Amino acid sequence: MATKKSKRTSTIAAANIGSYTVPGMTLEDGHRVGEILQDRLNALNDLQLTLKHAHWNVVGPHFIAVHEMIDPHVVEVRAMVDETAERMATLGISPNGTPGEIVKNRSWNDYSLGRATTDQHLGALDLVYDGIIGDHREAQDEVGELDAVTEDMLIGHLRQLELFQWFVRAHLETTAGDLSTEGAGTEVRAAAQASSRSRKH
């Protein structure tokens, strides 16, 4: 998820756009917010699958701590998915949660790691969170001009996403406050840097 492809905005098929939106918003603004949320829905659906993949594939001496740390956050992300889809429906847009929608319209590459150590997965996940949080903030900025209710929802998501990234980074940080993933441009590179730092300490 960290390695970006060309930025692509989800396009909503005309059949999935209602003739209404919430009171107090123009139809154009309501549907624009819905389109922005489709991209966030894709990202959150991808994130919950990525997290479960990491949960199943971590190995090493800190296995149980990381394995059990991930699952409660998966539940939180699934709640974000549901909230996002229901907000889209409220705005008059039919949410698309199919795997094909994610693959067709995502602006990131698939997660890079299979079986790997806890440090490697956490290093890669740090970059995943850089990507999803950065894109969520961009979405929040744009919808903030159009719809305070949706902006509030995205701010709530960001609070939880940033908190979990802090949990991830606590495993990657030195006592001096340096991150082992600093400067890594890919998940594979971040995983290698996190693993290398772990071997030195």
Looking at residue 136, which CATH number applies to its domain? 1.20.1260.10
Reported as type and span, the H/E element at residue 42 is helix 27-57
Residue 14 domain flag:
no
Residue partners of 154: CB distance under 8 A and separation at least 6: 40, 136, 139, 140, 143
Using the predicted structure, report yes or no on whether residue 16 has a pLDDT greater than 80. no
Residue 155 domain flag:
yes
pLDDT recorded at residue 144:
95
How many folded domains does the chain comprise? 1
Residue 4 domain flag:
no
Q: Are strands 116-117 and 58-59 parallel, antiparallel or unpaired?
A: parallel
pLDDT recorded at residue 196:
83
Using the predicted structure, report yes or no on whether residue 69 has a pLDDT greater than 90. yes
Q: What is the DSSP letter of 14?
A: G
Residue 34 domain flag:
yes
pLDDT recorded at residue 6:
46
Residue 15 domain flag:
no
- Whether residue 172 contacts residue 180, with contact meaning beta carbons closer than 8 Å, is answered with yes
Q: Which domain holds residue 70?
A: 22-200
pLDDT recorded at residue 162:
98
Using the predicted structure, report yes or no on whether residue 149 has a pLDDT greater than 60. yes
CA–CA separation, 96 and 195 (whole Å): 37
Question: Can you tell me the mean pLDDT for 25-37?
Answer: 96
Residue 17 domain flag:
no
Residue 146 domain flag:
yes
pLDDT recorded at residue 126:
97
